[in-house]
Amino acid sequence: MVLPGDVVLAKYPGIKATKTRPSLVVSTDLYHQTRPDVVLCLLTTQIPRGMNPTDYLLQDWAAAGLHKPSVFRAFFNTQMAAGLPIIGHLSDRDWSEVQARLRLALAVT
């Protein structure tokens, strides 16, 4: 069962092919209790020179199961929860910073 803050491998459709990419579970436990899918955001190793206000450079990326420095990006996707491989979980400080970026990206408080 996936949890908020889990790092998973998910398929993202691209222009030429579908790629498996690290992603972050951002949906809540309540959402998971009532739905078969999860809400994901993209994690990328493409670190931009100028970060957007809704991007966040993970500080504890290795502890989260990632192989390279990575950026959280508020690029949303949904996938079925069943079969998503969990490779790690964000540290408390990274999860807190991601939640702050989610509040900036979405019309919620």
CATH of the domain at 80: 2.30.30.110
Domain extent, residue 34, equals 6-105
In whole angstroms, give the CA distance from residue 6 to residue 25. Answer: 5
pLDDT at position 97, please? 98
Question: What pLDDT is attached to residue 106?
Answer: 95
Q: Does a structural domain hold residue 48?
A: yes
Total domains present in the chain: 1
Mean pLDDT by 10 residues, the chain (109 residues): 96 84 96 96 91 96 97 94 96 98 91
DSSP states of the chain = ---TTEEEEEEEE-SS-EEEEEEEE-S-HHHHHH-SEEEEEEEES---SS--TT-EE-SSTTTTT-SS--EEEEEEEEEESTTPPEEEE--HHHHHHHHHHHHHHSS--
Backbone phi and psi for residue 64, each to the nearest 5 degrees, phi listed first = -85, 5
pLDDT of residue 78: 94
User: Looking at the whole model, is its pTM more than 0.85?
Assistant: yes
CA pair distance 7, 28, nearest whole angstrom: 14
Give a yes or no: residue 1 inside a domain. Answer: no
pLDDT on residue 49: 86
The two three-digit tokens of residue 90, written as one number: 């964000």
| Cα separation, 23 vs 75, whole angstroms | 10
